[in-house]
Structure formats: C-alpha cells, structure tokens
Amino acid sequence: MKQSKLFVNTLREAPSDAEAVSHQLLLRGGFIRQLAAGVYSYLPLGWRVLRNIERIIREELDRAGAQELLMPALQPAELWKDSGRYDAYGPELIRLRDRHDREFALGPTHEEVITALVKQEIGSYRKMPVTLYQIQTKFRDERRPRFGLLRGREFLMKDAYSFDTSWEGLDHSYRNMYEAYERIFQRCGLNFRAVEADAGAIGGEGETHEFMALAEVGEDTVATCSNCGYAANLEMAKSGEQAQGKNQPTTEPIQKIHTPNVRTIEQLSQFLEAAPQEIMKTLIYMADDQPVAVVIRGDHEVNEIKVKHYLGAETLGLADPEAIQKAVGVSAGFAGPIGMKIPVLVDFAVLQMAAGVCGANETDAHVIHVVPGRDFSIEQTGDFRNAEEGDRCPNCQEGELTFYKGIEVGHVFKLGTKYSDPLGARYLDSNGREQTMIMGCYGIGVSRLLSAIVEQSHDDRGIIWPQAIAPYQVHLIVISTKDEAQVTLANELYETLQRQGMEVLFDDRDERAGIKFNDSDLLGIPYRIVVGKEASNGKVEFVERKNNVKQTLSKEELVAQSVFRTL
Amino acid sequence: MKQSKLFVNTLREAPSDAEAVSHQLLLRGGFIRQLAAGVYSYLPLGWRVLRNIERIIREELDRAGAQELLMPALQPAELWKDSGRYDAYGPELIRLRDRHDREFALGPTHEEVITALVKQEIGSYRKMPVTLYQIQTKFRDERRPRFGLLRGREFLMKDAYSFDTSWEGLDHSYRNMYEAYERIFQRCGLNFRAVEADAGAIGGEGETHEFMALAEVGEDTVATCSNCGYAANLEMAKSGEQAQGKNQPTTEPIQKIHTPNVRTIEQLSQFLEAAPQEIMKTLIYMADDQPVAVVIRGDHEVNEIKVKHYLGAETLGLADPEAIQKAVGVSAGFAGPIGMKIPVLVDFAVLQMAAGVCGANETDAHVIHVVPGRDFSIEQTGDFRNAEEGDRCPNCQEGELTFYKGIEVGHVFKLGTKYSDPLGARYLDSNGREQTMIMGCYGIGVSRLLSAIVEQSHDDRGIIWPQAIAPYQVHLIVISTKDEAQVTLANELYETLQRQGMEVLFDDRDERAGIKFNDSDLLGIPYRIVVGKEASNGKVEFVERKNNVKQTLSKEELVAQSVFRTL
C-alpha cells in the first residue's frame, strides 16, 4: 500500500479527553475515530489490526473444535424476559421498539439467543457436546464509556458457548477454551494472567476465570503470588487469614468512652491515639432488603462480593442513613457489634485482634478493650475483606500477594443450567430420559484486546505492534521522492518484498524526512526500511521498531534477513 | 469436518410461510434460522458460504484500490438531521435513545457517517480520490420482511463510498466499482444483468445502475433488448415511442355518449365495443400537493417515476376521491383531458392514436372520436408509461423488449454533492480554493446475494452451490459405518483430500444411505464421493451435484481428478 493513497491522517496531539495511552495513540495514528461517546469507526489501519486479531481467534477456536456462526444483534425482548435478564440487566441494555411496537434488545451478549437456537436444533445427546462461537458487534449502554476502545458502547466481541451432557463434559469444554485463550493471547503478544474471578451479572454456578492484560490503566486489580502462581481478581482473592488462629485476648474489661463528633476511623484513630489496626469498623449493609452488620479491621476494606456470596444474597449495598438509624438506632459512625440486634458478620482479621475499639451504638460514644467472642457473638465469621498487597498467599500460605492492574480481555464461565433451565434447553440422554443441557460461555473483547496490546506495547514515540497483528509487516520509506536513485530502489524493494508475500506500507509521500520518521514511529510497524542517500550505493537502512536497532544493508542482504524469511 | 459433529439439522419440510425457494432450501438445509421476522442467525454452513462471498468481495474491491474500514451501527440522529434524511427515511429507520436520552439511529446505510468522517480526515485534493468500503450489519425496519434473506430487517451489506475532486473523477471511480461488481458476481456464479435504474431514496443527480440477479421470485422487472444489449429496470425503461410520429387523425367530430355506471376501462371497452388501445385513460395524481392529470392509452400503465422526474416533484401519488372531485369536478371514472383546468400530461402513445374515447368530465358520460391536439392540449407530452414486453427497444429501435424478474443484489450510484454539500465535506483544490467533494456510493446485499444464488442454482432435490462459494468443496459419504473396509478407505480419503487443501465435509453418521443422500442433495456441495460396497476393491463413486454424473474411480484416479487439481 502506498501511503500517499492510504486513508490515514496522523495527528500531532490527541484530544484532551483521551486519558489512556492506547486511546491517544490509536487516535493520533489514525487507527480509530470517535463517532459518539463510546462509539468508534475503525479506519483502514485499525481495521487491519482487528482483522489480524480475528484471524488468530478463528484459527485457535477452529483448532479447538468450535464452530463459527453469526447471530443477530436485534433480539426479541421476550427471550430476555424468559431468562429473567430483561429487568436485571438494567440501563446497559439498549431497548427499542419496531414499527409494530414489538420490543427488542440490542444484544450485549447472546446467551439467550444461542440457548434458544440450540434448544431448537439439538434433541439428542448424540449431537453433543458442541461449542459454537461468533465474532460480532455488541451493544452496551455504559454509564461512563471511556478509554477509547477499552470501555465502549458498541464493540467487537468473540463470544462462544458450549453445550454438554454432564458437568465433567463442561469441565473438558471449559479447559479446552481456556487453553485456546492462552494460545490466542500468546500469539497476539499479550502479557496476561488468567485469574480466578466472580461470575458477576452473567451468573453461573461454577468456576470462572478472567484473562487479564496487565496494564496500569486497567480497572481491575489482580492479586498474584510469585511463590505458587496463585492469581485472582481482587474481588475474589481470599485474604489468607482464615487458616490462622485467634490472638491471645486482653483481660481488660470493656469501657465506654465519650467521643463527641468522632465518626470516621481517621478521627477515632487520632482521638484515641490508636492505630487503625486496633479499631473494629462496623458497616451496615442491606442484603436483599434485610440489614446486616459487617465488622472488619479499621485498615481493611469490605469486599462486598464475598459478603454477598456468604449470605447468598441477590443484591447487596451500603444502607442509607435512614435505614441505618432504623436498624441499629444510631448513625453509622457510632455503630458497633456489641448488643447489635441485626446479624453481625465478623471478618477473620477481627478474630485475631487481642482487643479493639468499636462504636457503642450510642451517639458520641465508643467502647475500648472489646474482645470478639467475649463481648459480642462471633457465630458468623468469614473472609469479608479485600486482600491486601503483602498479605500472605491464601493458596500456599508462604508467598506474599503482589497486586497488578489488569484489563479484562477474556472471560470463561461455567454457566451450568442458568440459561438452559429457564429457557428449556433439554435433550434426551442415552436412556431416552430428558436432561437439561450444561452450558459454558467464553468471551473475548476483540476491540478491547487491540487497545490492551497498545497499552502494553508502546514507547514515547508511538505504538510498537507485535509482529502477528501489525497492520503491515514492513514500513518502507523513501527519503526523497525527487532523488531518482532512491525512488528506483524503493520501488524495486516495494515490488520484491510484496512478491515475497510481505505486507508493505510504502511511504512515497512528498514530505520531509522528519515527518515520515515521526509518523513511522507512531504507526508502529515492526520493521522499517529507509531508502536514503546510500541508495546510489544500493544500500538501505533496516530498523527494528521495538529496539531501534539500525543496520545498513545491501538490497540482497536485506531481502535475506531472517526476520523476513519467517514472516 | 465430520458431519456427526457439525451443528446442522436438516428439515424434511420448510415452514409453510417460507414462500421463496431459497428461503425453503436454506431453512431445510440448516444454513439459517429465523430469530424474529426478517432477523436470521447464520448457522455454520450458512456462515461458511457468507464468508466465501465476503472473501470474493474483499479480493475484488482491494484489487480495485478500495480500502476497507468498519463504521458503527449506532449513528447519532444529529447527522441524519443534518443530511435531511432523519424525517425522510420514515419508519424504516430504527430509532432509539440512549440512557442520557440522546437520539440515535441504527444505520440502514452509511452516507452520513462516511461523509462526516472523510470531511474530518481529508482537507486537500492531494488525498483524493479515495474509495472506502465496509462489510457490515445494516438495520432496516421493513414493513413486510419476507423471502428469508431477500428482504430482511437485519442484514449483511457491503457498502462503498468514493470521494472525487471532479465529475470526471467520479465517472472513473464509478466505472471502477461497476467493473469490480461484474467480477464479484461472475466469481459467485451468478446470472445477472447490470441495468439502468432510478436513484430512489438514496438520491443523487446522475447515473445509477442496479445489478439484478435474474430469478422469478425477484420483485423488480428488468427490460432487456437482445438486439443491442439495452437493459433497464422497468421503472426506468423508456417506452420506445418518443421517436415515432403521430398517426393520421380522424376527421369525425367529438361526440358525447351516455355511459351510466361505466367507470373502468374494462367496462368502457365492453360498453362501447372498443379495444383498450382505443381508449384514453386519465388518472389524477397529486404531485407535491398539486393535482395533475396523466393521459395514457387504456392498455398501458402509468410509470410514476417517469412522471415524477418529468415534473421534478419530490412526492407523487394517486389523488384520493375527494381530491379528484375537487380538482376536476367529477369522480375518477369520468375524468378526461377535454377542458381540464389542471395540467395534463399526455403520453407519447396517446399522440399516436387516430382517435380515442375519454371521460367527459361529467358523471355517466364519455366522449368518442377524441383527437389529441385537436380536442385537448398536447403541450405537455412525454414518456409516462411503463414499457411493455414486445415494445420496440428504445435504444436501438430495432429489437423488441423482453422482461425478466430480477433481485437487486448490487447498486452503484453517482451521488454527486447530495451529502457532501449539506454535511460540508469540502477540500482545497490545487489552487487553494475550497470545493465540495463529489461522491459515489456502491452497495452489495451480501446476505441477499447468498439467497439469490440459491434461487438460481437449485433443483427439486436441493441447493447446487457454485464451487467458489460452496460451504465445503467435497462431500465424502461413507455408506456403512460398520463396514471396516468402507470406514478405513473413507478415513484415508478424508485425510488425503484435506492434506491437499480441500475442504471436506465427511458424513460419518450412523444413518441410512437414503438419509445421507437426501441430505447431501439438499446441502448442495459440488462434488460427492461415496464410499460403499466397492470399498473392498479400493473403489468409490464420484458424483457431480449439478448434473448427477457418476463415475466409479479408484482412490488414485479420484485424487487425480482434474476438478480437484483446480480447487
């Protein structure tokens, strides 16, 4: 492709609202353009990268025995009502009515459609297991679309669904996809970790892993242990204390202290000259409309997902001031577990405290020398806090947890019968008995993956595309379009390299060398060939984008480069 | 692919509401499934065919120098208001609001988006001309979706847009796409004609051609001349009479006749014992809210598009009874051109009548011996009727017109400045002067094309896929999965053919031979290899789907088949 003809327009500066590096570089390099908040066009260079990613995904999923199909974006609301998600999905689900006033959703995901389809097509165990996938445009009306392609409202996704006759079969299908995902991300040159995760809104009963691209801009936190390889999303990472014993408690009796206007942990810590580790923090939640108190150490954070799982609650959220007053008879800052009438969940770390300070359930009062189990019930104890960096690893009990920021680029779920049951996807087993299909689902954010790769692979001059997904493999630059020797040699190389099957972007523009180099750095094509003054001697400069290593080579030496032979 | 694992379910009968053969066969063969009216899933076999069509389109458009990109389906309503189409498009445009109550349209086409994009990216003539395309999902809320993929509400389309600095440039871009389309349809094995057409709702000032797949189910009529190659959509086909003279008129004076309750041409013809060719039919239209009369011969049909073009009207429709009464003072059945106060358009064929019968503009009365020009004004004459089969060719004046039914699978338009002007897509020319871009647009209904191919290529047993787009190239069938010799030979062939790069569907199912053959006929894979009783002698049957020609071949003879060498 001759760059003079390419539909691309590089920008010196990205719009000021582009926060993420990938967003800035993809805009500046002319890979994408915004049409509306969270809605992007992929220009030819960006589209070429996406197509390369798609190709890798297809090759690996086909290799894993999955079959590709394509389902519609327009989905009858009826299906979503049948699965119970029409209301549950909330405002992220884009809803519309057709000219006959029938309700539709724009698919944010396809569990309902695929389950209804498979139900209709498969009646017997003989046709199972089957794994189906598509690469298709999804719609989610994000409250706050941002970071370019990282959180969009219209985006490309690969979604796959498996249908098995047993949980063991699902284990196999799940592992199969898990391994395909590892190969896909490896081939895309991504630095990633597969981590234990929470099933979240899509739901399901069993195991689930997220594939996290490690990057500072990531909105997720990944806790890992370098000793044993444990890795989990912070929302799921165990705190590592449950196996440990209780500290030797104090023998001092409890004592009420007047603490006027002392409401926060920080204020209390200062007022009593006590470290936050010596304070028991009590938070009041509403779990499915029932109040519940959670007691954790003052320096810890409640992990709502753990609390929710412990209670088996559908919804969980902090109680509002009115509800707190009603439930415990005092405002949030003075609540404490002693004498509390609502259920009290005590975090493992609190159990290990010799004594602590807590609210007295009385305005302007706290209690000191409080011992869990002596002064309040510890019937309901558990792991209710976020793990923290430096915590002992909950898996091996030896290593320490390290945290990374991650971008979720893939997710594998064991759905079980969450959709097949309400939608009636059943089959006849080998004994002629009707059984419910056991499902898994598997997603990759294709356009998000593109951005995640840029987050990981760039320098201050621009993008550095991994070879396998680069929009072109070679960037051929002629310095002067007026120098006959340069033009002749450049044209000759352009033809030769293309004949060898290489994808070459040829910067044949009548621009200054500085502009060409800057654009080339920005576009990030892995190998650059510069045809300049040495052209009259038949020599060119060969540069690797990622390390800026330069070599002066003859045409023959260039064409024989091993990197080109392996392309 | 082993058929026992393939996600496909053939049906003995298609649903009774599937009228078109392609719809029936695609459903029966398990290529597609309906999710909602006009909304389909493409199952693995159907998706493979679509991907083959996509590949051909990409290869030919890339060859023509067009660049691929991908634009969003979610389009801000603002853009559509700027172009003036938000209201004009009517209920076919699917509209929605996001969570912030901003209006969006689901793109039925992308003129607005591409024009806004190119406006933003291209400022100079130096970056032009450029042709951009995408293969993308479109949404149109058809009033009456039908015939499966032929008229859907969500469908795959290839849309391309060219941007030139001059009309001559547009001519070149247009011709370039026109030729690419010819290559695409040829490679897809389609029987098609490129015909002159009307620009319709997308609009534009200049030339436009439709690519019509000839098929009985088609909703368009194509008029062609076998003598000179003239081909036009009936809506545009000239009637061929304009060059001819006027007949020798009668000298009889006009005479009013009492014709009680005679309102239709048929009634009048019987009542007066006059042929429809001797009657002048007068129809009253509203053109942009103004009444106008159109006079044509009794056996002809008014072509509203010709009338609309002649008048330069935005809208045209038959007047309702009330409006007719108001405009001509009589009901429709008795209207005639004599003494009419509203403008009268006279069709060329009427001019050639020696004399005729027409309404008297008086209830229960007609006039006979009416001579155009003598008895009413022929100031406004023109070609206002549909061409008819057997008409003299308007182009060569020698051949006769023949009609075919056609399915519009492609369309090329010269848009000119219809979008670039209101959306402000301007550039600086070589003199630094601001100019408006000259646009063309070019569409192919990708999913419709798939159906059109099936309409043309099937027999009473099923589909006959053209080689280039077949889901698999070879259908390998083993008759008995219990016969060791058969299974061994079939497996061996399966491996060998795949190693040779062939795409093989291997029917390894434990089913009766009859079922396998019926399914194979239905699926329509071009070549079939049957491993049956002769397997023990190392022989198989080789069958061409399209002509059912069978050969018994040894394994070596089979692999050496010339059809396989050219695959």
pLDDT, tens digit, 9 for 90 and up, residues B20-29: 999 999 999 9
Chain A residues within 8 A of B76 when measuring between CB atoms: 35-36
SS (H, E, C) B57-91: HHHHHHHCCCEECECCCEEEHHHHHHHCHHHHCHH
pLDDT confidence tier of residue B17, bands split at 50, 70 and 90: confident
For residue A291, what pLDDT is reported? 96
CA distance A497 to chain B (A): 18
pLDDT in tens, B237-248: 888 665 455 667
In this complex, which of A43, A113, A137 lies closest to B35 when CB atoms are compared?
A113
Output b/e per residue, A378-397; b: 16+ Cβ within 10 A.
bebbbbbbbbbeebbbbbee
Per CATH, the number for A21-207+416-454 is 3.30.930.10
Determine the topology of domain A472-565 in CATH: Rossmann fold (3.40.50)
CATH superfamily of A255-382: YbaK/aminoacyl-tRNA synthetase-associated domain (3.90.960.10)
Q: Does B104 touch chain A (CB under 8 A)?
A: yes
Chain B residues within 8 A of A43 when measuring between CB atoms: 69, 121
- Residue ranges covered by each domain of chain A: 21-207+416-454, 255-382, 472-565
pLDDT in tens, A115-137: 999 999 999 999 999 999 999 99
For residue B559, what pLDDT is reported? 83
Q: Is the pLDDT of residue B204 over 60?
A: no
Q: Is the pLDDT of residue A243 over 50?
A: no
Taking CA–CA distances from A3, the nearest residue in chain B reads B127
Q: How far apart are CA A410 and CA A71, in angstroms?
A: 20
In this complex, which of B41, B106, B143 lies closest to A117 when CB atoms are compared?
B41
Least confident of A308-312, A474-478, B180-184: A308-312
Distance from the Cα of residue A428 to its chain's centroid: 37
pLDDT confidence tier of residue B205, bands split at 50, 70 and 90: low
For residue A245, what pLDDT is reported? 55
Distance from the Cα of residue A222 to its chain's centroid: 10
Residue B565 identity (one-letter amino acid): R
Q: Is the pLDDT of residue B508 over 60?
A: yes
Which of B49 and A17 is assigned the larger pLDDT?
Answer: B49
Other Cβ atoms closer than 10 A to A332? 18
For residue B116, what pLDDT is reported? 97
Q: Is the pLDDT of residue B438 over 60?
A: yes
Which of 56-75 (B) contact A at CB < 8 A?
A: 65, 67-75
pLDDT in tens, A501-547: 899 999 999 999 999 999 999 999 999 999 999 999 999 999 999 99
Taking CA–CA distances from B49, the nearest residue in chain A reads A69
Distance from the Cα of residue A362 to its chain's centroid: 43
Q: Does A261 touch chain B (CB under 8 A)?
A: no
pLDDT in tens, A76-110: 999 999 999 998 888 999 999 999 999 999 999 99
pLDDT in tens, A325-343: 999 999 988 999 999 999 9
Residue A121 identity (one-letter amino acid): E
Which of B311 and B563 is assigned the larger pLDDT?
Answer: B311
Q: How far apart are CA A536 and CA A491, in angstroms?
A: 14
Cβ atoms A159, A133 nearer than 8 A: yes
Output b/e per residue, A7-17; b: 16+ Cβ within 10 A.
bbebeeebeee
Taking CA–CA distances from B139, the nearest residue in chain A reads A74
For chains A and B, CB pairs below 8 A equal 146
> Which DSSP helix (H) or strand (E) runs through B332?
none
In this complex, which of B69, B72, B153 lies closest to A44 when CB atoms are compared?
B69
pLDDT in tens, B444-461: 999 999 999 999 999 999
The mean per-residue pLDDT over the stretch B413-423 comes to 94
Cβ burial of B547 (10 Å; 0-12, 13-18, 19+) is: exposed
Q: Which of A439, A425, A467 is nearest to A52 (CA)?
A: A467
Q: How far apart are CA B346 and CA A299, in angstroms?
A: 92
Chain A residues within 8 A of B58 when measuring between CB atoms: none
pLDDT confidence tier of residue A241, bands split at 50, 70 and 90: low
- φ, ψ for residue B147 (rounded to 5)? 60, 35
Query: For B2, which DSSP code?
Result: B
Q: Which two tokens stand for residue B84?
A: 């003036």
Q: Is the peptide bond before B321 cis (omega within 30 degrees of 0)?
A: no
The mean per-residue pLDDT over the stretch B37-51 comes to 97
Per CATH, the number for B21-238+403-454 is 3.30.930.10
For residue B243, what pLDDT is reported? 46
Chain B residues within 8 A of A47 when measuring between CB atoms: 68-70
Q: Does A472 touch chain B (CB under 8 A)?
A: no
Domains A21-207+416-454 and A472-565 are alike in CATH topology: no
Q: How much of chain A exceeds pLDDT 70, in percent?
A: 96
Mean pLDDT of chain A: 93
Best to test chain B binding among A9, A26, A43, A53 (most B CBs inside 10 Å)? A43
Chain A residues within 8 A of B132 when measuring between CB atoms: 7, 44
